[in-house]
Amino acid sequence: MARAAALGLIIATMLFIQWFAPNLPGTPRTVALALGFALVAASLLGGVAERLRLPRLSGYLIFGLICGPYLLNLITATMARELRLVNGLAIALIAFVAGLELNVARLRPQLRAMFIVGATAILGMFTVLLALLWLAWPWLPFPDPGGPLARLAAAAVAAMLVVSFSPTVSIAVIADSRARGPLTELVLAVVVLGDLFLILMFAIAMQLARWSTGGASDVNVLPQLAWEIGGSIAFGAIVGALFALYLKLVARELTLTLLALCALLAALSPILHFELILAALAAGLVVENIAPPEGDQLKTAVERGALPVLIVFFAAAGASLQLDALAVIGWIALAVAAIRLVLVRSMTNIGVRLARLPEMPGGLVWMGLVSQAGVTLGLATIVAAEFPGWGTAVQTLVLALTGLHVLAGPVIFRAALARAGEIGRLDAE
Amino acid sequence: MRRADSSEVGSDALDARVPRATWAAALRAVLPARRAALGVGATAAPSLVFIGLGVVLGPGLLGVVSVEALRHLDAVVSVALAALGIFVGLEFGALTRAGGARPLLAAATTEATITIAVVAAAMFLLLSRWSLPVPIEPGLLAGILGISSCASAAVRFDGPVTPDVAFASRIADLEDVPLIGLGAVVVALAAGGLPVAANVLAAAVVGGGVGLAGVLLFERAESAAERGVFVTGAVLLLGGVAAFLNASPLLSGAIAAVVWVRMRGAADQLVRADLRRLQHPLVALLLIVAGASVQFSLAVLWIAAPLVLFRLTGKLLASAATATIAGVAPGVLGTVLAPPGVVGIALALNVQQVTGSAEVLVSSVTVAAVASEVLAAALLSRPGEVA
């Protein structure tokens, strides 16, 4: 009751100040306001979601959606853009936390199986979606790429985007649920390996699209990929090693240091053309596997540092959901989402059988691969920029799909973790 | 009038004391001035060091803190101002809850009013005659300079202090209350847009609303991490709303803090515990931003130089009058209240934010604060020696 009253007060405050907005000179400054409102209100809605046995981050997303520009507009489009300032920091933090969860010694016996599951799921989904999209292209509201080969290339790019899943959301659900166990480790490893795989395949698909449409091929694509992947891992490993040294020798103000480290990774990765998720993951892996910290200091620091960043990140994601994309391409997006859901389940289960994994948690792995978020949107933006015609149409489809999957994915994955009995086991250890 | 004893010299969050070893090692061999002037030992706020750092790092010299960076730091400054207001409000609220605050508040208000009146009147006369190229109307500028001048940094001492010194220290803490109140009015005047009353009222209402929300949330957080989120969110809201309305974050923060203190529960203690680690970084940040915002010019010199003299004069006159009423030694009061505080600089930064063009004001107030600090240390004896 007290929390509801507090939420009411905060919303009333936002409405109260917006009453003054027309009389304010110039452009109001809204960064701190957006952050403060998102932190408090989204956190409260996250608590409500938890009581309804949903992931807390669903509450953050729903907060963003309801208060965002398309509905209540308490968070305006400008404020939603400002909230996305923490995106880099959030992604780095989430990936770092994932790295901390991956103990190589424990995972080594299952690495081959994880690779088989991931490769089967991705390649299987891609093949079927490629065929479907190529066949259905003339009936879709997408401009003609020009010629069968160009259509194949465009379908390949679109299929790649539809297949891609969000390691960020899956890892965030695991962190939010304090989950630990075979399913958690399996999904973590699959999304991480899958992310690597998708980067490679996306680059190849884009090359094919450039070549087929008569555009200039990028001859440096292989060295670029090598730099992007290898360089990211090396860079992250160095940063992780330095942090591990700090933990051993100093171990003070860990929350601030951790946030500063993630901010550093987020700031430098685009400049150096590194893949932020890989770099941060590598940093976490090094800390966990080479110089594991003693005691609960790092765990406490992660909890204190991660929570506000996650809240703002997912609130921003909710506020940035393009509901008009759903209005434009809704039925098609629903159909594609349904097909994707069927494919992710069937292909993952095939992979599980090929890898000879046990029924539980093998049969639940697919539920961790439903989410789509920032990675997919980022790739779609690249496509739209390079191929303005059909690329923009594909981007609209991806926007709609992401909206559906970012809302449904965490709910489905959390249900899987609950069925596997892994929620809260991190605290029990 | 009841006089405070030494046991009542509380820990004002604004009296950000830096450990001696940190500064002494770095500065002892370099600057031969009295330790108080360097922010080492007795003086609470090492404004010289951080302002100097800001000047060196600022656009005028190294450019590490560039104009673009200062623009990006605007939101952080608003939040820092709100936090500063919270610190003032926590102390004020605690004092009113403890009882016996009215005489102290009356003395502080008297002292502040006289200081403001002397400085504002003198500066108005000068500004009207000189016609300096400043974007703020002379009357308003004089008012802002007067109000920012009344801030004092209390001196902290090791060991027992006399009752007069303890009383003076309390006055220094409470002076920030009328400063914040009047400061909110001048900020509203400088901002324009909304009517002054609406601007001030909106800031106050928001402070009260966020304060109430905090009372409902802080003690009901499910974990320390969640409580940290609520406290951080509340501070961000206070600073953010004030920034949105072009109002005073100092006022919003102070009112929220008073609500936390006066309402039943431990909200004030939880906020104090969570914000404690941010005290030094926030004050340091404000001073560095102020230093980086300093633009040396003839206008700044023409304003800062008389401001220092008028401030010292106003402080001594006000201390003499207040001491007579309160029955304490005037010399002690004047000495303790002479060093300038951070809240005056914070007010100038706030005015710069809402006008977007008050660099002369910030520069003058900052330079004057540094000069006042040196002057106070060089000319005035330590209160212990006086007593």
Asked if the C-beta of B301 comes within 8 angstroms of chain A's C-beta atoms, the answer is: no
Task: Of A60-69, B123-132, B344-353, give the lowest mean pLDDT range.
Answer: B123-132
**pLDDT classification of A221: cutoffs 50, 70, 90:** low
In chain B, which among 72-91 make CB contacts under 8 A with chain A? 74-75, 78-79
Q: What pLDDT is stored for residue B40 in this prediction?
A: 32
Q: Which residues 168-227 on chain A approach chain B with CB closer than 8 angstroms?
A: none
**Chain B: nearest CA to A307, how far in angstroms?**
7
- Please tell me the distance from the alpha carbon of residue A105 to that of residue A127, in angstroms, as a whole number: 34
Q: What angle do CA B69, B190, A19 make, to 5 degrees?
A: 90
Contact B216 A31 (CB under 8 A): no
Nearest by CB to B232, from A12, A39, A303: name it: A39
Residue located via tokens 């946030």: A259
Which of B:204-223 have CB within 8 Å of A?
A: 205-206, 209-210, 212-213, 216-217, 220, 222-223
Q: Which of A17, A28, A311 sits opposite B229 (nearest CB)?
A: A311
- Of B283, A97, B45, nearest to B36 by C-alpha is B45
A344-357 pLDDT, tens per residue? 999 999 998 888 87
Backbone angles phi, psi at B203, to 5 degrees: -60, -40
Which comes out higher in pLDDT, residue B233 or A195?
B233
A216 confidence band (pLDDT: 50, 70, 90): low
Say what the pLDDT of residue B89 is.
92
Which of A23, A39, A307 has the CB atom closest to B194's CB atom?
A: A23
pLDDT for A38 = 92
B220:A43 CB<8 A: no
How confident is the model at residue A343, as a pLDDT? 94
Distance CA B340, CA B307 (A): 12
Q: Is B46 strand, coil or helix?
A: coil
The reply to whether residue B194 touches residue A303, judged by beta carbons under 8 angstroms, is no
Q: What is the pLDDT of residue B156?
A: 58
Among partner residues B79, B193, B206, which is closest to A13 by beta-carbon distance? B206
Residue B359 CB neighbour total at 10 angstroms: 18
The pLDDT tens digits of the residues spanning A128-177 come to: 999 999 998 888 888 888 888 888 888 999 998 999 888 888 888 888 88
C-alpha A275/C-alpha A266 separation (Å) is: 10
b/e map A161-182, b = 16+ CB within 10 Å: bbbbbbbbbbbbbbbbbbbbbb
Calculate how close chain A gets to B380, using CA atoms only, in Å: 39
Q: Is the confidence at residue B229, as pLDDT, over 50?
A: yes
Q: In the predicted model, is pLDDT for residue B61 greater than 90?
A: no
**What's the full length of chain B, in residues?**
387
The answer to whether B254 and B180 are in contact (CB under 8 A) is yes
For residue range A395-417, what is the model confidence (pLDDT) as tens digits?
888 888 888 888 889 999 999 99
Residue B41 has pLDDT above 50, yes or no: no
Checking if the pLDDT of A97 tops 90, the result is no
The angle formed by the CA atoms of residues A108, A111 and A112, to the nearest 5 degrees, is 130
A33 vs chain B: nearest CA distance in angstroms? 4
Residues B349-376 have pLDDT tens digits of 999 998 887 888 999 999 999 988 888 8
Which residues on chain A are in Cβ contact (under 8 Å) with B235? Answer: 36
User: Looking at CA atoms only, how far is residue B86 from chain A in angstroms?
Assistant: 16
Closest residue in B to A301 (Cα) is B225
Cis check: omega of the bond before A361, within 30 degrees of 0 = yes
Q: Given this model, what pLDDT does residue B276 score?
A: 82
Rounded CA separation A367/A170 (Å)? 10
User: Which token pair is B217?
Assistant: 């949330």
The answer to whether the CB atoms of A29 and B74 lie below 8 A apart is yes
Task: Note the pLDDT of residue B22.
Answer: 44
- From chain B, the residues in CB contact with A47 under 8 A are 222
The model's pTM is 0.83
Mean pLDDT over each residue of chain B, to the nearest integer: 81
Is A143 an interface residue toward B (CB < 8 Å)?
Answer: no
Which residues 250-309 in chain A show a CB within 8 A of chain B?
303-304, 307-308
The nearest alpha carbon in chain A to B191 belongs to A25
CB pair distance less than 8 Å for B216 and A40 = no
ipTM value greater than 0.90:
no
d(CA B344, CA A372): 50
Task: Residue count of chain A, please give it.
Answer: 429
Looking at residue B382, what is its pLDDT? 54
Q: Nearest-CA residue of chain B relative to A27? A: B244
